[in-house]
Amino acid sequence: MPDKPALEGLEHKWAARWEESGIHRFPRTAGGRVGVYSIDTPPPTASGSLHIGHVFSFTHTDLLARFHRMRGERVFYPMGWDDNGLPTERRVQNYYGVRCDPSLPYDAEFRPPAEGTAKSTKAADQVPISRRNFIELCRRLTEEDEQRFEEVFRFLGLSVDWRQTYRTIGDEARAISQRAFLNNLERGEAYQALAPSLWDVSFRTAVAQAELEDREQPGAYHTIAFAGPSEDVVIESTRPELLPACVALVAHPDDERYRDLFGRTVRSPIFGVEVPVVAHHLAQPDKGTGIAMVCTFGDLNDVVWWREFDLPTRTVIGFDGRIVPDAPDAITSESGRAAYAELAGKTVFSARAAVVEQLRATGALLADPRPITHPVKFYEKGDRPLEIVPTRQWYLVNGARDEVLRDRLLQRGRELQFVPEFMRVRYENWVTGLTGDWLVSRQRFFGVPLPVWYRVDEHGEVDHDEVLVPERDSLPVDPSTDVPPGFTEGDRGRPGGFVGEVDIMDTWATSSLTPEIAGGRYRGDGLWEAVFPFDLRPQGQDIIRTWLFSTLLRSELEHHELPWRTAAISGFIVDPDRKKMSKSKGNVVTPAAILEQHGSDAVRYWAASSRLGSDAALDVANPTQMRKGRKLAIKVLNAAKFILGLEAGALGTDAVTEPLDLGMLAALDRVVDDATRAYEAEDHARALELVEPFFWTFCDDHLELVKDRAYGLPGQGRDSAVAALRIALDTLLGLLAPVLPFAAEEAWSWSHDGSLHTSSWPVPTALGGDPELLTAAGEALIGIRRAKTDAKVSQRTPVASARITGPEQTVHRIGLVAGDVGAAGRIGSLSLDPGGDAVEVADVVFQPTES
RNA sequence: GGGCCUUUAGCUCAGUCGGUAGAGCGCCACGUUUACACCGUGGAUGUCACGCGUUCGAGUCGCGUAGGGCCCA
């Protein structure tokens, strides 16, 4: 026991000892699922640095892990790293100064031109390398990040079993991801379709509904005249450049203005294409002129109309976001084709300007463009508006087009325990609002390849309907280098041979399988049977529509059951202005510095005092919660040092005989019961809220009240005081252990051999004391202190006599502990006098002092 | 436009069954004591966003309005 206990250095000391003793390792004993508490940990993205939000939410998870471990459960707490996906790709490009070109051959001797020192992030300055070289760099860089993340998490005190880690780009994760896809394919849940897809022109990949966001963008309404049967039909459009892609006009069926036009045709200006006028309830009569262009494709409504009216496809925007070279066949006039030729190759932006000029020249533009702002769909990671282009993609069913599946998913959502409860509606809103199946293919490089090949027919044409799949035990495969069963590399691309799929899967297609990946579903070593279904899925509220939904979907399709019992949803961190902290806003603080500055226990306290689902403010300049936590941790060390330094003749529950000691333990019993219930309900903030005030009352009042006895002559009174203090200390250390694992373990180690963090969750002593005694004594103590403060004398000033009045029952209780109260107040003669509403100390006569 | 959360002391937040409004920080005063100066003790501080309703009684329950935030269109 040190002379002057301090928090500094506890993190490294105990993290190392815990690792050495292996107390956080998942015990692989027999017994299957019984007695196991398993956690489907969120894998942080390994690109760059951890966010303070990680510290916040991972602490919440760790509180539960530690509680359940202390209760003797076998806790499965793994850690995963999400190293898949675009963030990694972009980081690797910028870090190493390279870009992926899948057509290049692998170069085993390749050395990247830069190591975090690339001067330019322009594609032209980046060295093109093969997919395999690119992936090697992705793995190398993410590994370094993961190492750093692990160090921060160990310092934070996460009780993770660090042997149970996975990477979403690892062999096992890729194999599981591909296997799950093949299972979906076999059951008819995965399919390909040539369909209009939301397309990011910068990244040149399709994106899914879950990755969309609306952004307010400036735009303009253009008033354009179409030639009608009798007179001009005037539409308003924000996308005049899509005029050559126009396939119809649409108005609401009830709109009197256009009723006569339904079923007839109008002719587009400039391009002179006859298009039908159709009626549909999605058309908005109050928007613009109430009649709108249907183009292939301007927005998602266009896709609906195109599909429902079986309209032709006139694609004008290419995968690169530029106008395609060839005009749609429907444009037959010479002038129309000449006008189109002027647009070919232009970006959407400049094509718009060109069309506006053409419209002006022909007189079809009836007014100057009218500026507006309107919501435009973006890929959440992109910075150019999405286009909609027809492509062949792979889809997974998700209930959007299948009511039976949708109802099953909603039912599962009702079976899942959400903490807090109100988060369930976000899931339900998402499931009910789905508009299409899950687009899982991505035209990117670093990720899990779709594990399929296609036959090439005798004419050398790829036949996408003839899908070749790998053997299950050959997974993971890369179809661009591996060959399908029964073929050789020589058959690649040849008539009668095969071609490999080049697309990869959506990163969520892998992340949705974290239970299977973490639980080692196919390892055959019993782990899976011991941990699935998981007890806890901790995650952020922002990824309910992605991670939570997709995991639940995969589990329903594969196992017909919930992947976990409870979803614990953390809020996020906001700065003092209530703005969500995020990288893009530049108000991010790095966790390592904060942990170093305040100490891990203090930071954990800050996190623990926020309940699940509610956002927490962090004022880095004035982190009051962290200071409070730090103060608490220091107090724990000091109180423990004091109590353990006291001598006693006998310890244990039998030695506790004095009313105040029994009363204090009875009050503590209540705290143990209530805090246990709170943790059982995943309410760590409530538990802390119960334990912390008791601990302070214990230090400020009880310790002061019994100090005299504890320091006093040997005997029953002294033994009772010290025995009760030791019991209470052990109990309080246990109750605080999840929140302050370092300080609590340090203090515990001064009087125990084993770790506090295994099987030491406190239980009530049930010695039958009066739990109100301490409160009553405390009230008396406050009165005495007030009298001394009012008299501006030291608290140690002796009092010759005093009289305590108050409610009868309280005064009676004070009488039962009058010895302790008198000793703590240094009162010679204490008289008790029932009466009045509040406890008051009157007639205080200070002892005359010599000086 | 729809949904959800939120509004309590200067700040950050509790307030469980509807029964006298709470904590920490900050502020003021006092004291430095034998666990603790990263200290202790005491004190002051409220239109519980607003309105209506239910009730003997509303911070708490219901309806509505406003501000803040998030998600989805």
Q: What is the pLDDT of residues A595-620, one digit of tens each?
A: 999 999 999 999 999 989 888 888 88
pLDDT value of residue A586 = 47
Cα(A89)–Cα(A444) distance, rounded to whole angstroms?
9
In the predicted model, what is the mean pLDDT of residues A769-797? 91
Q: Which nt sits closest to A433, CA to C1'?
A: B72
Output the average pLDDT for chain A.
91
Cα(A642)–Cα(A645) distance, rounded to whole angstroms?
5
Q: Residue A583: pLDDT band by 50, 70, 90 thresholds?
A: very low
Taking C1' of B25 and every protein CA, the nearest residue is A624
pLDDT value of residue A606 = 92
Residue type, A5: P
In the predicted model, what is the mean pLDDT of residues A67-89? 91
Q: Which residue has the higher pLDDT, A219 or A14?
A: A14
Cα(A8)–Cα(A132) distance, rounded to whole angstroms?
46
3-state SS of A201-250? CCCCEECCHHHEEEEEEEEEEEEEEEECCCCEEEEEECCHHHHHHEEEEE
Residue A637 · residue A746 · CB < 8 Å = yes
Residue A484 has pLDDT above 80, yes or no: yes
Q: Which of A51, A25, A11 is nearest to A156 (CA)?
A: A11
Cα(A150)–Cα(A147) distance, rounded to whole angstroms?
5
Cα(A390)–Cα(A165) distance, rounded to whole angstroms?
40
Instruction: Note the strand B nucleotides within 7 A of protein beta carbons.
Output: 2-6, 11-16, 20, 23-25, 29-36, 38-43, 68-73
User: Could you read off the pLDDT of A23-43 as tens digits, one per residue?
Assistant: 999 998 777 899 999 999 999
Tell the residue number behind the tokens 């309830």, with chain if given.
Answer: A281
Residue A124 has pLDDT above 80, yes or no: no
Q: Residue A564: pLDDT band by 50, 70, 90 thresholds?
A: very high
Q: Residue A759: pLDDT band by 50, 70, 90 thresholds?
A: confident
CA atoms within 13 A on the CB side of A558: 25
pLDDT value of residue A579 = 55
In angstroms, the CA of A4 and the C1' of B37 are apart by 13
Q: A325 vs A16, A239, A345, A385, CA distance in Å? A: 65, 19, 6, 21
pLDDT value of residue A739 = 96
The terminus-to-terminus CA distance of chain A in angstroms comes to 40
Q: A534 vs A40, A65, A339, CA distance in Å? A: 6, 13, 62
Residue A224 has pLDDT above 60, yes or no: yes
pLDDT value of residue A215 = 85
In angstroms, the CA of A735 and the C1' of B22 are apart by 23
* Residue A196: other Cβ atoms inside 10 A: 21
Q: Which nt sits closest to A435, CA to C1'?
A: B73
In angstroms, the CA of A313 and the C1' of B62 are apart by 55
pLDDT value of residue A578 = 57
In the predicted model, what is the mean pLDDT of residues A420-446? 89
Q: Which of A601, A594, A599 is nearest to A736 (CA)?
A: A601
Q: Residue A52: pLDDT band by 50, 70, 90 thresholds?
A: confident
Q: Which residues contact A345 (CB under 8 A, 6 or more apart)?
A: A322, A323, A325
Q: Which nt sits closest to A542, CA to C1'?
A: B71
Highest mean pLDDT of the ranges A286-295, A324-333, A578-587: A324-333
Residue A594 CA, chain-centre distance (Å), reads 20
Q: Residue A576: pLDDT band by 50, 70, 90 thresholds?
A: low
In angstroms, the CA of A340 and the C1' of B10 are apart by 66
pLDDT value of residue A588 = 57
Residue A585 has pLDDT above 50, yes or no: no
In angstroms, the CA of A339 and the C1' of B51 are apart by 63
In angstroms, the CA of A847 and the C1' of B34 are apart by 22
User: Could you read off the pLDDT of A314-346 as tens digits, one per residue?
Assistant: 999 998 899 999 999 999 999 999 999 999 999
Q: Which residues contact A94 (CB under 8 A, 6 or more apart)?
A: A118, A121
Q: Which nt sits closest to A8, CA to C1'?
A: B38
Cα(A336)–Cα(A725) distance, rounded to whole angstroms?
93
Cα(A355)–Cα(A686) distance, rounded to whole angstroms?
63
In the predicted model, what is the mean pLDDT of residues A460-476? 95
User: Could you read off the pLDDT of A659-675 as tens digits, one per residue?
Assistant: 999 999 999 999 999 99
Q: Which nt sits closest to A707, CA to C1'?
A: B34
Residue A569 · residue A419 · CB < 8 Å = yes
Q: A66 vs A73, A154, A336, A484, A555, CA distance in Å? A: 10, 14, 72, 47, 27
Q: Which nt sits closest to A574, CA to C1'?
A: B69
- Compute the 3-state secondary structure of chain A and give helix, strand, coil in percent, each to the nearest 5: 40, 20, 40
Residue A761 has pLDDT above 90, yes or no: yes
In the predicted model, what is the mean pLDDT of residues A154-177? 94
pLDDT value of residue A19 = 96
In angstroms, the CA of A571 and the C1' of B50 are apart by 28
pLDDT value of residue A176 = 97
Q: Which nt sits closest to A572, CA to C1'?
A: B70
Strand pairing category for A417-419 and A564-570? parallel
Q: Which of A100, A172, A174, A89 is nearest to A138 (CA)?
A: A89
Q: Which of A413, A348, A4 is nearest to A199 (CA)?
A: A348
pLDDT value of residue A211 = 83
Residue A584 has pLDDT above 70, yes or no: no
In angstroms, the CA of A426 and the C1' of B64 are apart by 25
In angstroms, the CA of A685 and the C1' of B29 are apart by 34
User: Could you read off the pLDDT of A777-788 as tens digits, one per residue?
Assistant: 999 999 999 999
Q: Which nt sits closest to A422, CA to C1'?
A: B4
pLDDT value of residue A307 = 84
Q: Residue A851: pLDDT band by 50, 70, 90 thresholds?
A: very low
Helix-helix angle A808-816:A773-790, to 10 degrees: 90
In angstroms, the CA of A613 and the C1' of B67 are apart by 22
DSSP secondary structure string for all residues of A652-675: SGGG--SHHHHHHHHHHHHHHHHH
In angstroms, the CA of A368 and the C1' of B70 are apart by 38
